Amino acid sequence: MTLSDFFAAHPKAALAYSGGTDSAYLLYAALKAGADIRPYYICSQFQPDFERQDALRLGAELGAEPVVIELDVLSCPGIAENPPERCYLCKKRIMGAIKNAAACDGYEILLDGTNASDAAEDRPGMRVLSEEGVLSPLRLCGLTKPEIRALSHGAGLFTAYKPAYACLATRIPAGEEITREKLRRIEKSEDILARMGFSDFRARLRGGRALLQFTGEDLPRAERELPELKKALAAYFDEISIDPIERRKSL
C-alpha cells in the first residue's frame, strides 16, 4: 500500500502534528493526495517553543494552518509525579484532547506520524495508539525514517533532516518530580547549545546539575569548550558536566 492508496481510502482525517520530520511529511503527502486533512498541534510545558514555531512555519508553507491546543500536562493526574508510565499517561491525554477537538470539527479518523522504524518496545506511549484507534499511515505503508527523510528532501521540506526531538520531560529521571522551573532551565540551556552550533544533543537533569550529551561529531568540541559551556549555562545550572559516552545519533 502507498500513501496515495491510504488517502484514497481515508480522504478525510485529523493529524496529530508535531512539526517533526514524520508528521510534517505525512501532512505534505495527505495534501498532495488531495485529502481533507487538518493538523492539530498540542502546546504544553513539555514542548519547547521552537517546535511550535516549526509546526506553524511548515503549516503556513503548505497552506494548512495547524489547530493549536493548549494543554496543561502538569495538572493532569499522575504526570508531574513522573512515574515510569509517564509517557503513556501523557500521550493518552494528548490523543484524547486531539480526538475531542477533531470530532467537534467533524473529523472522526485520527492519524499520527509513527513510522516503520519505530519499534513498539521503544515507544512506551505506542499502546495509546491502539487504544484510541489512531492510524499510522507511514508505518502501515512500510516507510522507514531514512526513506521519509529522503522523500521530505525531495519535496523541499525544511524538516527533512531535523533531528528527532523527545519531549523535555525525558531529560528528568523517572520518579523525580517535574516542575515548570526544571523544564524552563532545560529548555533555555538547550536553546543556548543550539545557538552555539551544536546539534542532536540533550541537557539532562541529574541531581540538580546538568549532564550534557553530544553525538560523536560534537563531543570532542564540547569537551574542549567545557569552560565556555559552563559560563554560557551558568544562569540555569551551577554544576555542568559532559557525558563521556557518545550520544547515539537520532534517526
**pLDDT tens, 204-230?**
999 889 999 999 999 999 999 999 999
Vertex 184: Cα angle to 87 and 204 (nearest 5): 60
Residue 44 falls inside a structural domain: yes
CATH code for the domain of 128: 3.40.50.620
Contact 171, 204 (CB under 8 A): yes
Buried b (16+ CB within 10 A) or exposed e, 195-234: eeebebbbbbbeeeebbbbbbeebbeebeebeeebbebbe
Residue 106 falls inside a structural domain: yes
Q: For residue 113, what is its C-alpha cell?
A: 506520524
Average pLDDT in the chain: 94
- Same domain, yes or no: 69 and 117: yes
Q: What is the pLDDT of residues 151-207, one digit of tens each?
A: 999 999 999 999 888 899 999 999 999 999 999 999 999 999 999 999 999 999 998
Residue 249 falls inside a structural domain: no
- Same domain, yes or no: 30 and 109: yes
135 by Cβ neighbours in 10 Å (0-12 / 13-18 / 19+) ranks as middle
Query: What is residue 49's predicted lDDT score, i.e. its pLDDT?
Result: 93
Residue 248's pLDDT band, with cuts at 50, 70 and 90, is confident
Residue 161 falls inside a structural domain: no
Please give the residue range of the domain that contains residue 191: 179-242
Q: What is the pLDDT of residues 46-81, one digit of tens each?
A: 999 999 999 999 999 999 999 999 999 999 999 999
* pTM value > 0.85: yes
- Same domain, yes or no: 140 and 185: no
Statement: residue 121 has pLDDT above 60 = no
Give the long-range contacts of residues 88-93, CB within 8 A, separation 24 or more: 88/124, 88/125, 88/127, 88/128, 90/46, 90/125, 90/167, 90/169, 91/125, 91/128, 92/125, 92/128, 92/131, 92/132
Residue 123's pLDDT band, with cuts at 50, 70 and 90, is low
Query: What is residue 178's predicted lDDT score, i.e. its pLDDT?
Result: 97
